[in-house]
Amino acid sequence: MINALNTLKKEICKTLPIPLINNEEWDTFRKNTTVALMAGGDSSRFKSVPGSENTNKNSFKLPNDDTMIEMTIRMYRDAGITDFVALVYHQAETIENLLGDGTSIGVKIKYSHDPERPVDKGGAILNAIKNGSIDQNKNLIVHNPDDVILNSTKEFPRLIASGHINGTRQGGELTVVIVTETPYSYTGMSIDQNRVTNIEQYPLIPVPTHIGVTIFSPRALKRLFADFNAIEKFNYETELFPVLANEQKLFSVSIPIDDWLAVNNLKAYTTLLKRLGLQ
């Protein structure tokens, strides 16, 4: 099975090393970049975590009094990016009360409230462009705070910026941050004529997977506004990504699977606590 999966990986995941941008290029990028914190969902799966019922999961206090959204902000702040916009809706007050205008954490934070109707991720960004919270002339990193980056937090912002700039030099407009493989949630098996010939517990499936971090160039933002402005609800992953991939304008930058954890239910939350040494 492992040999077959490795063969599949060679066929569908051909990544190249990405050279890091120099200090001057990084300085230019960070000064012209906003981080959008996607924090408007109702956190339905996260409600299995005890005590989380009356707060947005991104502002839910960990045992050390930290939160996932503050962890994300500090990661970018420590790298030099200080311009943020929080895209909020469900229990937005818990995010606003926690972060304020960002002064206490050393950044600037604006808020864009989703309309009183479902708009999905793309609609939330369009709404923020319309109300002036997002500047179309700057790069935009969209980060779901519950997509927690671990281990490589010091290197992560500059790494993804390097991947994005490398892509734009080749005509790219948008960059997705990926892991090259993800664990299968069940017991994997190889079967030959109904006979089980191999067992693998939670094998890594070599399908490149978007982790919920996306970098829009100004060109991509203007295109988003021009092409989807009349659509009230849309997901840019399902609507825009395929178009750009077909035009060969969608690029990727990969991080190790162990550097990412999607925290959206009790099991993942427990794993996060263990990874942070809090349990």
Domain positions in the chain are 2-275
What CATH superfamily classification does 2-275 receive?
Spore Coat Polysaccharide Biosynthesis Protein SpsA; Chain A (3.90.550.10)
Average pLDDT value over all residues in the chain: 93
How much is the pLDDT for 117?
A: 81
The predicted model scores a pTM of 0.94
Beta bridge partners of 39: 88
Q: In this predicted model, what pLDDT tens digit does every residue of 218-263 receive, in sequence order?
A: 999 999 999 998 887 889 999 999 999 999 999 999 999 999 999 9
189 phi-psi bin (left φ>0, alpha ψ -120 to 50, beta other): beta
Alpha carbons 235 and 132: distance in angstroms, whole number: 20
User: What pLDDT does 3 receive?
Assistant: 87
Would you state the pLDDT for residue 122? 93
Alpha carbon distance 190, 1 (integer Å)? 6
Whole-number pLDDT of residue 128: 95
Q: What is the pLDDT of residue 166?
A: 96
- Predicted pLDDT at 35: 98
Local mean pLDDT, 10-residue blocks, the chain (279 residues)? 86 92 97 95 81 88 96 98 95 94 97 89 94 96 97 94 97 97 92 95 93 97 90 90 96 96 94 94
146/52 Cα distance (integer angstroms)? 14
